[in-house]
Amino acid sequence: MTGKPTYEELEHLVRDLERAGSECRQALEASLKIEKHLRSLFDGIPLALYRTAEDGRVLEANQALAEMLGFPDPQSLLFQDSARFLVRPEEQIKQRSILNREDVLHGYEVQLRRRDGSTLWVKDSSRRYCGHDGQVYYEGSLEDITERKHAEQALKEKTKLLQLISDNMFDLVALTDMEGNFKFVGASHKILGYDLDSLLGRNVLEFVHAEDFPAVSAAFQDFLSKCDKNRKVEYRYRCADGSYLWFETVGVFIRDAGGSPEEVLFNTRDVTQRKKYEETLEKSERFYRSVLSSIHEDIYVIDGNYQITDINKTALKTLGMVREEVIGSCCYEISHNLSSPCHEHGQKCPFISVFENGKPLNVHHLHIRSDGAIAHVDILISPLKDELGNTTHVVEAIRDVTDLFESREALLQSERLLNDIQNASITGGWEYDVSTRQLKWTRETYRIHGAAEDFDPNDTTRNISFYSEEDQPIIKKAFDAAVQEGRPYDLELKFRAADGTKKWVRTMGKPLLEDGKVVRVVGNIMDITGRKKMEEEKSSLEDQLRQAQKVEAIGQLAGGVAHDFNNALTIIMG
């Protein structure tokens, strides 16, 4: 039976509708609050997050992603083709192929291009899913690993001792209340070995290593009081099996509608491998220091501003200074007592060319000692390069060769004197090393032979050919006897110089023995052509004298015979 509702029924219906409307408004407000909370989480998380359609269009992005790619806000990214941010767009096809096959992809490393054209490396952890509308979507997080990429390259080039940084370092995301009690734990916390649900309600500080606890606890309280969202803390965190991992954590406040912090979002990174690498680097540094200290040459490390950035103990001893006095000083101040670079004083600075061309250089240089004396030094300058191949420093290995230089000068002076004496006496010297079978001539020996200084005296056939054919067997036999039997020789032989000039030479050889064996034969060769000519002239004059004496004797005999004959005739003729 139907009829018009009474006033009481209408009034009751209105109250029901008002109550239902109020409940709807409350439900809507709660839904909006949840949505706002989730949006706050999405925008506040320091991870770069995204969601794209199957065709690659960006549907959602957070502020971290916008900042990573160089955009002012997430809205600037919406509906852009995500492939345009890839340095190699074909990477998207490869990545989607894996996701279409496995649905989830962790740690996919890819290179992106920012809005300003610069590039960065990221690690993409993403998944593929179907929405309520039946459409395929892709969502994930990006971790900037550019610094790690550069570190890997630098470590590989400079030390050769370190391994590549692991590609499986995932960020751990957790949400806590203002006292640090877990409210949400991300799946990445599985690396700790705990059941994730068992962590809820427990305090984040509970698992911190006892040695690190005071510092971490103080940092957390400081974080809460100062709202320092950029504060990073490193510490050891206990795993379920009792072992520890090194973590690096950054916290961000989740604020309520009034802007007051009500929760803390922690982004934690496993830096255990990095710590191990740092320990290895420290060991390498200690080893480097040990090697540097044990080198007997003076070692300096100098940057492009001429400042000394490192020095070994040997160099400090040479300078008579302590490390603090040298580090930060300029090389021209320490080695040359100058107030500005050497080239500004008309002196050549050898390491400028090493910075320019990146090639090692070995030079002889002059330094001023602490007592003001001039030192002759040999310097080997080697470039130190960064991962891009640019020379950032040079290493100078310096050896004081003043004594050697002075000895060399004295030797050169002695050699000049010897050459002058040999030239004046027309006497050359030579030496034969039995073990190496090498023959060395002095300059005068080359001149006597009429040979250029690039002539090789070890060419036995040509060497012997300077002697006359009849004398070649003689000199060969004498030289062989000196080498093999230790017999000296002194010979005067006919000789023909390289220009055809005929000469007489006197050549002598004296074997030098060690433990009864000939080790060297030394000797000289003298041009005696002048003496031979004088002897020949003397012999000729003596022959002429004898001939004249014979003629004179015959004349005297003839005169006597003639006189006697005349006397006889006088007697006969009466």
Could you say which architecture CATH assigns to the domain 406-527? 2-Layer Sandwich (3.30)
The CATH fold assigned to 171-270 is Beta-Lactamase (3.30.450)
Q: Which of 332-336, 364-368, 487-491 has the highest mean pLDDT?
A: 487-491
> pLDDT band for position 364 (50/70/90)?
confident
Q: What amino acid is encoded at 432 in this protein?
A: Y
Q: Does residue 515 sit in helix, strand or coil?
A: coil
pLDDT at 166: 28
pLDDT at 138: 92
> Is 44 a residue whose pLDDT tops 60?
no
Q: Are 528 and 493 in contact (CB under 8 A)?
A: no
CA dihedral (319, 321, 327, 330) in degrees, to 10, reads -50
**Domain layout of the chain by residue ranges:** 12-38, 45-144, 171-270, 295-399, 406-527, 539-574
pLDDT at 161: 36
Q: Report the pLDDT averaged over residues 279-297.
A: 77
> Looking at 78-92, 236-250, 522-536, 558-572, which range is the least confident one?
558-572
Q: Which CATH code, of 3.30.450.20, 3.40.30.10, 3.30.428.10, 3.30.420.40, is assigned to 45-144? A: 3.30.450.20
Q: Which CATH code, of 3.30.450.20, 3.90.1150.10, 3.90.550.10, 3.30.565.10, is assigned to 295-399? A: 3.30.450.20
Q: Answer with the residue of higher pLDDT: 306 or 4.
A: 306
- Tell me the per-residue pLDDT of 209-237, one tens digit each, with 9 for 90 and over: 999 999 999 999 988 888 766 678 999 99
Q: How far is Cα 432 from Cα 160, in angstroms, rounded to an integer?
A: 48
pTM: 0.33
Q: Answer with the residue of higher pLDDT: 561 or 349.
A: 349
Q: Report the pLDDT averaged over residues 418-428.
A: 60
> Looking at 69-83, 190-204, 368-382, which range is the least confident one?
368-382
Work out the percent of the chain whose per-residue pLDDT is above 90. 24
> Is 159 a residue whose pLDDT tops 50?
no
On the question of a common fold for 45-144 and 406-527, the answer reads yes
Average confidence score pLDDT of the chain: 81
Buried-state track 159-173, b at ≥16 Cβ within 10 A, e below 16:
eeebeeeeeebbbbb
> pLDDT band for position 4 (50/70/90)?
low
Q: Tell me how many helices (H) and strands (E) the chain has.
A: 16, 20
Q: How far is Cα 416 from Cα 288, in angstroms, rounded to an integer?
A: 46
Work out the percent of the chain whose per-residue pLDDT is above 70. 78
Q: Report the pLDDT averaged over residues 231-251.
A: 92
pLDDT at 1: 44
HEC per residue, 313-373: HHHHHHHCCCHHHHCCCEHHHHHHCCCCCHHHHCCCCCHHHHHHHCCCEEEEEEEECCCCC
pLDDT at 118: 93
Distances in Å between the alpha carbon of 531 and those of 470, 538, 559? 21, 10, 41
Q: Which residues contact 345 (CB under 8 A, 6 or more apart)?
A: 338
Sheet holding 48-53, edge to edge: 58-61, 48-53, 136-144, 119-130, 104-113
pLDDT at 419: 58
Alpha-helical (H) ranges within 374-512 are 402-425, 443-449, 460-464, 472-485
Residue with tokens 């950032």: 392
> Is 470 a residue whose pLDDT tops 80?
yes
> Is 574 a residue whose pLDDT tops 50?
yes
Residue with tokens 């005071």: 214
Q: Answer with the residue of higher pLDDT: 21 or 298.
A: 298
pLDDT at 425: 52
Could you tell me how far CA 310 lies from the centroid of its own chain? 15
Q: How far is Cα 271 from Cα 247, in angstroms, rounded to an integer?
A: 5
> pLDDT band for position 163 (50/70/90)?
very low
> pLDDT band for position 57 (50/70/90)?
very high
pLDDT at 288: 72
